[in-house]
Structure 1
């Protein structure tokens, strides 16, 4: 069953390849959606696909790539959104 989750990640998450690394994780787990920087310095991520794969990427988002310093991760399930690939916005 396919589901969608939106996540907001705070900390040192911009300028550390967070979005590109998230895209790589999403592709490896067959997920679609997007990652985008927000004006408050956080990153918003939409993950669409199988629940078990989303859970794996959410665990990864809690620490992110090597240079990131995640201080907060909030996520929730949202209504299904159809995306054909994972984009960086």
Structure 2
């Protein structure tokens, strides 16, 4: 059984190897999805996999790597899409007005 969580974290989360660490940990746990920087300084990620592995990644996201300072972490459950790998996506551009 697969589950999916959409995560958004804020604080000091860019420029601290957040995305690369997230990718490495997701691959180690067999979690699929993606992570990217947002224009406002937040980081956004999607995790798909077993409930235990996705829960582990969500808990990690709320902490981040050692040099990060996560001040908030929001999660939204979504329907799994059947993703099969984990990728670092290009940074998201500014949202349209």
Corresponding residue for residue 81 of structure 1: 81
1:50-80 deviation line (CA, Å, top 9, x unaligned) = 0111111111111110110000000021011
Count of matched residue pairs: 89
Q: Secondary structure at the match of 2:84?
A: coil
Corresponding residue for residue 40 of structure 2: 40
TM-score (norm 2): 0.88
TM alignment of 1:1-89, pairs within 5 A: 1-89=1-89
CA RMSD of aligned residues (A): 0.8
Q: Which runs of 5+ in 2 are unaligned?
A: 90-97
Deviation, structure 1 residue 82: 2.1
Q: Which runs of 5+ in 1 are unaligned?
A: none
**The structure with more strand, counted as a fraction of residues:** 1
Question: In the aligned structure 1, how far is the partner of 2:81 from the partner of 2:31?
Answer: 12
TM-score (norm 1): 0.96
